[in-house]
Chain A
Amino acid sequence: GAGVSQSPSNKVTEKGKDVELRCDPISGHTALYWYRQSLGQGLEFLIYFQGNSAPDKSGLPSDRFSAERTGGSVSTLTIQRTQQEDSAVYLCASSTGQRNNEQFFGPGTRLTVL
């Protein structure tokens, strides 16, 4: 079956603009995770969804970052007033939600803020 998909694959934006990144998890996966991969910081957890609720938002770096999930499926990560330090690859992963089941990762969205 289809894996986790993310769009766009690449996004170039100007400093100060808002961006939306989309994640389509594997069908039936109740848990969804966002991570960020950057040269300076490695792989960082951002936020976790179980269904449509986000019990753990502890990794969101500032209030410019927000995320939502609708219908227990698609998730959108929004970054407002982008800054150059937001440049990174944003990875989405999903799992069945059973404790410590394997997370399946998407290919990521490469965000470049000029």
Chain B
Amino acid sequence: AQSVTQLGSHVSVSEGALVLLRCNYSSSVPPYLFWYVQYPNQGLQLLLKYTTGATLVKGINGFEAEFKKSETSFHLTKPSAHMSDAAEYFCAVSGANQGGKLIFGQGTELSVKP
């Protein structure tokens, strides 16, 4: 069984500040991990993914995430927030030989203050 926990349903940062969105997972098989972003009234867009190999993954719009097996974490960061980063962010997990279905966390809404 797999599950995802995102700490904080709402995070607020100032423009230019560090963005840190937390994600912890549980998986009985080696996990594949994803971050998706959903802008208001739009569909989900992939930010980045970890499958195998390098544990620090870089994505679009300056975001990155680090897979830490010992901590079962896959936190999303961005050094400097921009107003356009305001959106809802979802962490998701899937496992090998499971058809690729995604198990999502509850989501974190990011607000960016000017």
Is B51's CB within 8 Å of the partner chain A? yes
Is A65's CB within 8 Å of the partner chain B? no
Is A91's CB within 8 Å of the partner chain B? yes
Query: In the bound complex, what is the Cα–Cα distance between A103 and B43 (angstroms)?
Result: 12
Query: In the bound complex, what is the Cα–Cα distance between A108 and B43 (angstroms)?
Result: 7
Most chain A CB inside 10 Å of its own CB: which residue of B36, B44, B51: B44
Query: In the bound complex, what is the Cα–Cα distance between A80 and B96 (angstroms)?
Result: 33
Query: In the bound complex, what is the Cα–Cα distance between A107 and B46 (angstroms)?
Result: 14
- Residues on A with C-beta less than 8 A from B90 are 43
The contact string, 1 if C-beta is below 8 Å from chain A, for chain B 31-74, is: 01000100000111110010100000000000000000000000
Chain B residue at minimum C-beta to C-beta distance from A6 = B43
Binds A, one of B17-25, B79-87, B98-106: B98-106
- Residues on B with C-beta less than 8 A from A102 are 46, 49
11 new A-B pairs (CB below 8 Å) besides A43-B104, A59-B101, A95-B100? A31-B100, A42-B104, A43-B102, A45-B102, A48-B99, A48-B101, A91-B44, A99-B96, A100-B94, A105-B36, A108-B43
Pick the contact of A55: B42, B46, B99, B107 (CB < 8 A).
B99
How many of chain A's residues have a CB under 8 angstroms from any CB in B?
26
Chain A-chain B contacts (Cβ-Cβ < 8 Å), number: 57
Query: In the bound complex, what is the Cα–Cα distance between A43 and B35 (angstroms)?
Result: 13
Query: In the bound complex, what is the Cα–Cα distance between A100 and B52 (angstroms)?
Result: 11
Q: Flag if A43 contacts B107 (CB, 8 Å).
A: yes
- Residues on B with C-beta less than 8 A from A48 are 99-101
Most chain A CB inside 10 Å of its own CB: which residue of B45, B51, B104, B107: B104
| Cβ contacts A to B, 7 pairs, < 8 Å | A35-B102, A35-B104, A43-B107, A45-B103, A91-B44, A103-B46, A103-B100
Query: In the bound complex, what is the Cα–Cα distance between A97 and B96 (angstroms)?
Result: 13
Query: In the bound complex, what is the Cα–Cα distance between A35 and B43 (angstroms)?
Result: 12
Query: In the bound complex, what is the Cα–Cα distance between A101 and B94 (angstroms)?
Result: 11
